[in-house]
Amino acid sequence: MEFFRNTNIDFLGKKWYFLAFSLIFSVAGLFSMLFWHHIPWGVDFRGGTLVYVKFSHTPDLNAIRAALDRAGLHDPKIQPYDRPQNNEVLIDLAVRETNEQALDQGKAKIIQALETKAPAGKVDFNNASFLTIKNYLLDKDPLHLGSDADQKYSAQAQAAVDYRDKVQGGVLNSLDQLQSAAGVDPKVAAALADGFYVSDFGVRNVEIVGPQVGGQLRKQAGLATLYSLLGMLVYLGFRFEWIYGVAAVVTVFHDTLITVGFFSLTNTDISLTVIAAILTLIGYSNNDTIVVFDRIRENIKLMRREKLSEIVNRSINQTLSRTILTAGLTFLTVLALFLFGGEVLRGFSLALVIGILIGTYSSIAIAAPILVAYQDWRIEKGKRPATALAGKAR
């Protein structure tokens, strides 16, 4: 399948437009990373606390932010999580203590901040633990059990918690719902209604990443990116010539800078999955660049009397259909992932959407012109053209 036949676009003639385009986006991203949002590391890298909260209704993010601020939890990042109809919110706090006591205290602070209508003397069932419910039942003993009360009330408490978490998604609208819960005795449900109430939210999960772990992950992510670039440089240096490797590395660095710059400009967190996407892009962009380089090398042997700039233009046009077809299909796939993949894959798919567009552009507009610029520079300095690059082309 071929979209373009016998195209003759003068890509190198538009190199200054390409350069201006790349400079604008690179400088804007760099400016944001240095002076504005900096690199917006996610909680995986900077450390912090993530709290997943489910509401019984559509949450008001401004009201949540104000409540947390009043409770002393300043500058939280709050964003909807998962599908909108699930009414789930992810709260990112700069709380970096790593022990279990601090985790429980952080959770209790959030519950206290969000709860505004707690009846006196009652416990919030939506945020009550299994142990709290079990101890309440043991104390009240609604079934008048004998010596095996602990075992039976454990089963009753577990059935109530399972109904709340697995059947109702973590939040009950009314304690009357327990009357129809499998495994919950009606007398137990009635007793729970006496001692508990239901709030309009439930804390589903709390995760903490310590600053040391975050720093180590940051270092490992940087090394992984550096090693992949060095590996690419060595591979292309041996397969072609060092200038090909340098051109490919500069191109991938350009792609990475613009992608990370976009995340900084939009203040979107860079998580572990985003780093995985960037490493994927390095391979993808490199593959596209090698296809163009390979065609240039073949044409250098066939078009010995042509100028290198004409050979490069011809090579890009000859591979244009393949480039557009491959990039187009990949882009549609990652676009579907971005639109329908959910919040968990949002950062990963966003990095791929941007990276594929930039990677395709750079393999045409950045990598090949670097080869011509290098050759022109050698000739201008009175040096011999690099043999494998130019051969007898000029």
Question: For residue range 84-103, what is the model confidence (pLDDT) as tens digits?
Answer: 778 888 888 776 555 556 65
For residues 368 and 292, is the Cβ–Cβ distance under 8 A? yes
Q: Is the pLDDT of residue 105 over 70?
A: no
For residues 51 and 206, is the Cβ–Cβ distance under 8 A? yes
What pLDDT, on a 0 to 100 scale, did the predictor assign at position 394?
A: 41
What pLDDT, on a 0 to 100 scale, did the predictor assign at position 343?
A: 75
What pLDDT, on a 0 to 100 scale, did the predictor assign at position 102?
A: 61
Percent of the chain with pLDDT over 90: 25
Q: Is the pLDDT of residue 382 over 70?
A: yes
Percent of the chain with pLDDT over 70: 91
What pLDDT, on a 0 to 100 scale, did the predictor assign at position 392?
A: 43
Q: Is the pLDDT of residue 222 over 70?
A: yes
The residue-averaged pLDDT of 341-349 equals 83
Q: Is the pLDDT of residue 393 over 50?
A: no
What pLDDT, on a 0 to 100 scale, did the predictor assign at position 304?
A: 78
What pLDDT, on a 0 to 100 scale, did the predictor assign at position 100?
A: 57
Secondary structure of residue 81 in the 3-state scheme: strand
pLDDT bin (cut points 50, 70, 90) of residue 230 is confident
Q: Cα 357 from chain centroid?
A: 17
List the beta bridge partners of residue 93: 49
What is the average pLDDT score of the chain? 84
Give the separation between CA 276 and CA 348, rounded to whole angstroms. Answer: 7
Q: Is the pLDDT of residue 209 over 90?
A: no
Contacts of 111 (CB under 8 A, 6+ apart): 124, 127, 203
Read off φ and ψ for residue 11, nearest 5 degrees: -65, -40
